[in-house]
Amino acid sequence: MTGRPLWQWTATEVVAATTAGEVSCREVAVAAVERMRAVNPRVNAVTLDLGDAAIAAAERLDARRAHGDAMGPLFGVPITIKDNVEVRGQRTPNGVAGLAHVIARDDAPIVRHLLHASAVIVGRTNTPEFSMRATTNNALYGLTVNPWDSRISCGGSSGGAAAAVATGICAVGHGNDIAGSIRFPALHCGVAGFKPTTPSEMPLASVQGPLARSIADVRTAYAVMTPRPPAGDPAAGATDAIGADRPRIGLVAEIPGMPIAASVAAAIRDATRALEDAGYVVEPIAVPDIVASGELWLRFLMTDLQQLVVPVARRIGSREICWYFDAWVNGLPPFSEPDAFREAVAARNAFIARWTALLETHPVVLLPQRADPLLEVDEDLRSVEHLRLVLRGYAPSATMNLLGLPAVVVPTGLDEGLPTGVQLVAGWNREDLCLDAAAVVEARCGTLGERLWRHLE
């Protein structure tokens, strides 16, 4: 570790060194802040520089350690918080110019969890307007640039977090996911991103989760961000279907109605080889119609947005976001009649039942996060017809939100200089299973941080 700048260290490395007293939290914070101020002008990932406050917070952590006080599981780890959750005394604009004046009176629960774990917030990260687009761009703060290629979208809506993690501004980025908003930017920026199980009592909830450069960091941050019963505990979910250390993995290499791009197919093959070499049995499976289930979820989401968000966007949103919502409604309209909504709920229940049976025989599923190549910047604003294709491309991701399943995106390498990756899904509350499989893929395929940093030099 000593041969690398502190801003390149993983959260796991930082915690090991700060808790042992080998490195101070202040040193880590200074390195992260300097990196942020050096690279952020190029990528525009961070919208609010909290560097000075971060260094002061790190000094307080060092003082706590010196006094023998408890040290949290993220002791001294530099993190960012997405612009759509509350941090006391700060604005929460969610990419909307009309909300830039709104100041939070208290910390959101997710922020309290992270601060209680002794993490250090170095900045707030950009998001599209209302966190509802495939490109992180807005009239308030502008475009977050994909550090690999400025032509390519950094994803949305946690695009600022993904770019911050990828470039070394922070070790862990906070994100949230209602249709792929963690996993989509993770794929586009070449980092790992994790959506935990959606609580059954909140089926339309945006789930909080981490982005990081390693699965080990994802696992540590997830444990802090989403306190749950220990994974594998019978109270937490079903047991492994075959009762072995390596559960059988279902492979979805083809999706009817969605041609698979060559780079995506190669990523699936690389992940399959990694898993098989580690002792997993990976075999093709037939899954319920992913296009239909993904589009069903987006119609549920628009039904919610039509009541809660679209009226606000009409008053204070930009012309682009109003067009976006209109085009979405045109292609995937909300459920406006009670009978149609009841039928949609019945269809969702049918999908859940079929996936429940599937996960009993194959507790982990390997599939693309998206079947198409990476999106270009503002590709979702080209035309009504093209937005329909973009939204359709969300299906492998949005399906997991429809079902509420935990899902992780892990990088597999580069294709023509752009990141590739796969999605791994497990049964409800079996976060351990998909993270274990993702760690195997990472061990074989490697992480992309150092390759990006060389690219940026």
Task: Give the mean pLDDT of the chain.
Answer: 95
Question: What's the rounded mean pLDDT across residues 104-115?
Answer: 97
Q: Where in the chain is the domain with CATH 3.90.1300.10?
A: 6-225, 249-445
Which of 118, 157, 206, 293 is catalytic? The answer is 157
pLDDT (average), residues 407-418: 98
Is 80 exceeded by the pLDDT of residue 240? Answer: no
| pLDDT, position 203 | 79
Measured in degrees and rounded to the nearest 5, phi and psi for residue 24 equal -85, 155
Q: What is the DSSP letter of 408?
A: E
Q: Which long-range contacts does 181-184 make (Cβ < 8 Å, 24+ apart)?
A: 181/131, 181/156, 181/157, 181/206, 182/158, 182/209, 182/210, 182/211, 182/409, 183/369, 183/397, 183/407, 183/408, 183/409, 183/423, 184/134, 184/155, 184/156, 184/158, 184/369, 184/370, 184/394, 184/397
Q: Which residue has the tokens 């690398």?
A: 4
Is-catalytic flag, 157? yes
pTM: 0.96
What's the distance, Cα to Cα, between the start and end of the chain in Å? Answer: 21
Q: Choose the catalytic residue: 24, 82, 195, 293.
A: 82
Catalytic residue among 181, 206, 293, 397: 181
Catalytic status, residue 206: no
Which CATH fold topology does 249-445 show?
Amidase signature (AS) enzymes (3.90.1300)
Per the CB < 8 A criterion, the answer to whether 140 and 100 are in contact is: yes
pLDDT digits (tens, 9 = 90+) for 121-160: 999 999 999 999 999 999 999 999 999 999 999 999 999 9
Please check whether residue 158 is in contact with residue 181, taking contact to mean a CB–CB distance below 8 angstroms: yes
Tell me which residue of 451, 454, 447 sits closest to 191, measured CA to CA. 447
The arrangement of strands across the sheet holding 120-125 comes to 46-49, 120-125, 78-82, 172-177, 207-212, 192-195, 407-415, 418-426, 364-367, 249-251, 282-284
Topology at the third CATH level for domain 6-225: Amidase signature (AS) enzymes (3.90.1300)
